[in-house]
Amino acid sequence: MKMTFKTILIGGLAVFFAVVATAVFAPTLTWNPEQTTIAHEYTADQMAGRELFYSNGCNYCHTQYVREEDTAMGAVSNGGNYVFDSPMILGSERTGPDLSYVGRKRSEEWEIQHLKSPRDVSPLSIMPNFNFLSDDQLKSIASYLFALGDRVAQERMIRPPDVYEGVLNPQDYPIVQPSSSGDPQGWSMWEADNLQNGKETYVKYCLTCHGCSGNGLGSYGGTLIVTPANFKQEPFKSMPDEEWMWHVSEGIPGTVMPTWKLSLSEEERWNVVRYIQRIYAQPVMHDPDEGDPSGAYANLTNPLPASTEILDEGKQIFTRECLVCHGDAGTGHGPYRDIIQPGPPDFSDGSYGTLDNPVYTDSDYFWRISEGVPWTAMPAWKIHYDEEARWKLVHYVRGLFTQTEKIPEMADPGNEVAQIYYDQRMPETASYDRGQTIFVEQCAHCHGLAGDGQGWDGLYLNPVPANFHDMLGSSLTPADEGTYFAKLTFGIHNSAMPSWGEWLPERDRWDTIKYVTDSFMMGKPVTESVYNNGAISSEFLLASSDVYLSEGHTIIAENGPPLYAQYCATCHGDTGAGDGPGNQDNASEGPAPFPQDMSEAYIYWRTWDGVPDSLMYPFKWLLNDQQVWEITTYMTQTLLAGGQ
């Protein structure tokens, strides 16, 4: 055929229309996906909002589809989601968030306010203002957005993609018979359930961020913008296997949580999921039932000599890694001990024997430090510390806490602390109130609330905690400031005084020094007019034990007297006369006698919030609300009522 202009024109038009028919009309005629519950017919108001959304260019920045490779955006979009959309508003860029599942996640009023002035509700938003639209138009757009997606208001977590949908941990717990001979079964069952493998994987890869108690406060976690997950709270307590496996495998977008499927096998990932679930998210109290050291751990003796230097190095490790659960006094009262089951042991309880008759050998300590303890959160520290470091910990725990090993004689250590620490001076920004909070949380349990060395955890320690009343009448020289800073940073040789430089930032150490020196060296007079005729902070005016009880809480009257004796009597005295033993030789004046007409709301307020610029602590940092109510009830119903 001769290629004339007419032939070329007709052929070109034929090809064009064939392409159009194939690419446009044929899909339209043949596309008939099954409707999903996402799709719905639009009301007149929603349709008007849809047209306004499209005509104002909202789809330039906001998409309405989720692809297979998208994570944490919702379920992958399905053709059946769009059966009532003509044309589809899929959008072109994700300058703003995808809106596929925005329906019901925010109120229509919020959407209207956001359209009018985006930066009022999202300060970093680059979305333009749409306040030129009428109220009816804004309401229509909000109505359209409110009806998008699955329209579920309280979705806690984005559902996992199909590859993880519905997966369950394939590992079953074996059914076993209790031992008829009484042989320990803790380790055998723990290892049979792959929980030791899970623990070691957790310690190696997860512990520094999520912490040894699983609360997301690991030693590295505080350096991150997004705090690591706290497995002790929702949604993790009830999160299904599929979501655990998804997050462990793929990581969390927007965080440094790694994609562990790249370096851990599927079995290793299931093992660590099981460990986290059983020990942190869904714990059941167990008897460790670990028995005695065996194999390579049997009959070991500490190869390191006990020396001041060894004890200091063990202390540094203990302060850095163990304090959070075991507490700096070794009594098991660490800040995170209440969130793990079973809790850490109390090294002061006498069960470890004596210096002349120890119950546990070096092997016992080294074994537990190295491998952890079955059915507990005790980490396997062999993952992070070599043998020498673990033996140093054995010396420290035995010498200072269980006291089943003699503390070495201390030769003159010289001035081994860098002079720069002694040259430091207290900054003007040091805060008495911040220091008081740190003291009541970290120091009072050894040094006593009155600073007299009579804290409830420190009485068994040898050497005993310092009595700050010995500072009475001293003057604070510049050299003292540097000395106190060095002591607080590195601890006291051959004692349980922690090396707080391993735990507290410099500002916190200076704040603590400010509190101690102002309170126990220079003294704080009784704050005048504290009672002020019973005037109460508005936050506490309506506080009521009756309301507390009506909300399903409990106040155990029997707990009131011992709580008062432990936390109040040292200053206020047994009868509330302000003549407690902690006031003797104290640079700060003792408290005034209790006014007899104090209301329970006033007592609760002052116990909870303390008295600013005084030795009356805000006990909210040490006690929970029930304990404060138990003290309050004891005072109102017994102490102030004359019913002792």
pLDDT of res. 11: 79
Residues 51 and 137: beta-carbon distance below 8 Å: no
Is pLDDT above 80 for 644? no
Give yes or no: residues 475 and 516 share one domain: yes
How far is C-alpha 224 from the geometric centre of its chain's CA atoms? 13
Give yes or no: residues 449 and 505 share one domain: yes
> pLDDT class for 319, splitting at 50, 70, 90?
very high
pLDDT of res. 158: 75
Phi, psi dihedral angles at 281 (to 5 degrees)? -75, -40
Residue 587 lies in a domain: yes
Give yes or no: residues 308 and 359 share one domain: yes
Is pLDDT above 60 for 1? no
Q: What is the CATH number of the domain that holds 85?
A: 1.10.760.10
pLDDT of res. 153: 78
> pLDDT class for 411, splitting at 50, 70, 90?
low
Is pLDDT above 60 for 301? yes
Last residue of a domain, one of 257, 281, 305: 281
Residue 589 lies in a domain: yes
Give yes or no: residues 58 and 80 share one domain: yes
- Mean pLDDT of the residues in the chain: 92
Region 326-343: mean pLDDT is: 92
The Cα–Cα gap between 71 and 160 comes to: 8
Tokens of 430: 């040091």
Tokens of 96: 């703003």
The Cα–Cα gap between 331 and 329 comes to: 6
> pLDDT class for 74, splitting at 50, 70, 90?
confident
* CB neighbour burial string for 69-81, b if at least 16 within 10 angstroms, e if fewer: ebeebbbbbeeeb
Residue 236 lies in a domain: yes
Secondary structure (DSSP) of 363-413: HHHHHHHHH--TTS----GGGTS-HHHHHHHHHHIIIIIS--SPPPP----
> pLDDT class for 414, splitting at 50, 70, 90?
low
Q: What is the pLDDT of residues 534-585, one digit of tens each?
A: 899 999 999 999 999 999 999 999 999 999 999 999 999 999 999 999 999 9
Domain containing 206 equals 186-281
Residues 143 and 43: beta-carbon distance below 8 Å: yes
Is pLDDT above 60 for 82? yes
**524 or 538, which is more confident:** 538
Mark out the alpha helices in 405-524 (DSSP H runs): 419-422, 432-438, 444-447, 478-490, 506-517
> pLDDT class for 86, splitting at 50, 70, 90?
confident
Domain count of the fold of the chain: 6
How far is C-alpha 202 from the geometric centre of its chain's CA atoms? 17
Q: What is the pLDDT of residues 421-440, one digit of tens each?
A: 999 999 999 999 999 999 99
Give yes or no: residues 308 and 339 share one domain: yes
Last residue of a domain, one of 493, 523, 553: 523
Q: Which residue bears the tokens 């999202």?
A: 122
pLDDT of res. 472: 83
Residue 159 lies in a domain: no
Is pLDDT above 70 for 156? no
Last residue of a domain, one of 237, 259, 281: 281
pLDDT of res. 259: 95
C-alpha triplet 606, 611, 612: angle, nearest 5°: 145
pLDDT of res. 209: 95
The Cα–Cα gap between 334 and 332 comes to: 6
C-alpha triplet 42, 45, 50: angle, nearest 5°: 65
Region 258-286: mean pLDDT is: 95
pLDDT of res. 528: 66
Give yes or no: residues 369 and 424 share one domain: no
The Cα–Cα gap between 554 and 629 comes to: 9
Residue 36 lies in a domain: no
Give yes or no: residues 119 and 54 share one domain: yes
Give yes or no: residues 126 and 79 share one domain: yes
Residue 78 lies in a domain: yes
Give yes or no: residues 208 and 141 share one domain: no
Residue 175 lies in a domain: no
> pLDDT class for 641, splitting at 50, 70, 90?
confident
C-alpha distance from residue 361 to each of 279, 394, 395, 405 (Å): 27, 10, 11, 10
Q: What is the pLDDT of residues 112-121, one digit of tens each?
A: 999 999 999 8
Count the residues in the chain.
644
Is pLDDT above 70 for 643? no
The Cα–Cα gap between 145 and 136 comes to: 14
Residue 173 lies in a domain: no
pLDDT of res. 413: 57
Give yes or no: residues 584 and 626 share one domain: yes
- Which of 3-17, 292-306, 602-616 has the least mean pLDDT? 3-17
Tokens of 599: 């209301």
Give yes or no: residues 519 and 584 share one domain: no
Is pLDDT above 80 for 24? no
Q: What is the pLDDT of residues 448-496, one digit of tens each?
A: 999 999 999 999 999 999 999 998 878 889 999 999 999 999 999 999 9
- Which of 80-89, 275-284, 289-298 has the least mean pLDDT? 80-89
pLDDT of res. 533: 87
Phi, psi dihedral angles at 401 (to 5 degrees)? -110, -65
Give yes or no: residues 195 and 219 share one domain: yes
The pTM score is 0.86
